[in-house]
A and B are shown apart, each in its own frame.
Chain A
């Protein structure tokens, strides 16, 4: 997707610049943006490293495992079609907990594994099962406690209080998650 999007963005810029007479300044914009991206990454280097350091402690001390065990009753309710001791449940729990803790890079591999195991339970192999729909909607409602990247970006652009968005962020992500779950459950009931 980005192969088209990225090229289109640059081509559109150049064509527009030809009409707006900004040809000279888009060169500067390109160069300074490239430089700026590196500055952003330096700020991120500090904050993301700190976060994943803390999360490594959570991982190695067994906390993440314990937390995902605690989520099981809730998840079993959410996915009635999957037997509670099925492998898919392990990966769903791992994916959900990684998302909640803001470990995006750890959540995708677990999520893909969850899909693979849900597919073994799926009767129509080219159609998403009920569990898959629920899993995907739940996953994309992006339930998380702290969006650490956003704090890094806000720090980079000199926010006085980069973390002030954590509270509102939790509130809105709970709203989107609840709406997602309720929507899927409603559709499932209506289809019966």
Chain B
């Protein structure tokens, strides 16, 4: 499993080297270009900020009121079967519906358990292999007026579910 650690450490530096070297080879002004791109990045974050504020407030209130705990407890028989940490269950469901709401819950988990706890690592890995299936499907299919989506939902849910199971497996292997 050493390859996982090596991959984590080397991926970002490799991408940097590859892109910058490619940039030089094509005579791109790499730094000037970087600055332009960074501006775009900054704009994107400012665009996300209001949604994140709105949803972190909502999740913070859910957590503090005790509603999130009640919801987690209600679902715990189900999760015991699959073996997902029960605090991660609301996130797993929300992940399918809304990207910003799931981010709110993710950050709530980081705050309460820490990103380096088992559950913190599990949700990190799980978030990187799942997608807001319902939201994405409605946007994409609506844009071209498709009403019958056939087996898309089934395929997407199955692939996301496989991702969740794989996350559990790899986290157990690496961090327990």
> Is A71 in the interface zone, CB < 8 Å from B?
no
Given the known A-B contacts A22-B65, A29-B64, are A54 and B57 also in contact in the complex, defined by CB atoms under 8 Å? no
User: Among the listed A1, A12, A63, which residue makes an inter-chain contact with B97, where contact means beta carbons less than 8 Å apart?
Assistant: A1
Contacts of B136 in A (CB 8 A): 136, 139-140
Q: Are A57 and B28 in contact (CB under 8 A)?
A: yes
Q: Are A179 and B97 in contact (CB under 8 A)?
A: no
Q: Are B64 and A13 in contact (CB under 8 A)?
A: yes
Contacts of B28 in A (CB 8 A): 57, 60-61
Contacts of B147 in A (CB 8 A): 126-127
Contacts of A40 in B (CB 8 A): 52, 56, 107
> Is B85 in the interface zone, CB < 8 Å from A?
no
| Dominant secondary structure at the B interface | helix
> Closest Cβ of chain B: how far from A43's Cβ, in Å?
10
Closest chain A residue, CB of each to CB of B126? A172
Given the known A-B contacts A63-B22, A137-B152, are A34 and B159 also in contact in the complex, defined by CB atoms under 8 Å? no
Q: Are B158 and A142 in contact (CB under 8 A)?
A: no
Interface residues of A (CB under 8 A from B): 1-2, 5-6, 9-10, 12-14, 16-17, 20, 22, 25-26, 28-30, 32-34, 36-38, 40-41, 44-45, 48-63, 105, 108, 111-112, 115-116, 118-119, 124-128, 132-133, 136-137, 139-142, 144-147, 149-150, 153-154, 156-173, 175-177, 179-180, 183-184, 187
> How far is A158 from B107 in the complex, measured between Cα atoms in Å?
12
> How far is A14 from B155 in the complex, measured between Cα atoms in Å?
37
Q: Are B115 and A153 in contact (CB under 8 A)?
A: yes
> How far is A25 from B21 in the complex, measured between Cα atoms in Å?
53
Given the known A-B contacts A53-B34, A154-B124, A167-B7, are A187 and B155 also in contact in the complex, defined by CB atoms under 8 Å? yes
> Is B84 in the interface zone, CB < 8 Å from A?
no
> Is B75 in the interface zone, CB < 8 Å from A?
no
CB-defined A-B contacts under 8 Å, sample of 19: A12-B65, A16-B66, A30-B60, A48-B42, A63-B22, A112-B139, A136-B136, A136-B149, A140-B156, A142-B130, A150-B128, A157-B114, A159-B115, A167-B5, A167-B6, A168-B167, A169-B124, A171-B166, A172-B125
Contacts of B170 in A (CB 8 A): 168, 171-172
Known A154-B124, A172-B125; 16 more pairs at CB < 8 Å: A57-B22, A57-B28, A112-B143, A128-B150, A137-B156, A139-B140, A140-B156, A142-B128, A142-B130, A142-B131, A146-B12, A159-B120, A161-B116, A176-B159, A179-B163, A180-B158
> Is B137 in the interface zone, CB < 8 Å from A?
yes
Contacts of B149 in A (CB 8 A): 128, 133, 136
Interface residues of B, count at CB 8 A: 105
Contacts of B46 in A (CB 8 A): 41, 45
> How far is A30 from B64 in the complex, measured between Cα atoms in Å?
9
Given the known A-B contacts A30-B60, A172-B129, A180-B159, are A54 and B37 also in contact in the complex, defined by CB atoms under 8 Å? yes
Interface residues of B (CB under 8 A from A): 3-9, 11-12, 15-16, 19-20, 22-23, 25-26, 28, 30, 33-42, 44-46, 48-49, 52-67, 70, 97-98, 100-101, 103, 106-107, 110-111, 114-116, 120-121, 124-131, 133-141, 143-152, 154-156, 158-160, 162-163, 166-167, 170-171, 174
Q: Are A33 and B57 in contact (CB under 8 A)?
A: yes
Closest chain A residue, CB of each to CB of B165? A175
The 4 A-B pairs at the shortest CB distance, nearest first, are namely A56-B37, A33-B60, A180-B159, A52-B41
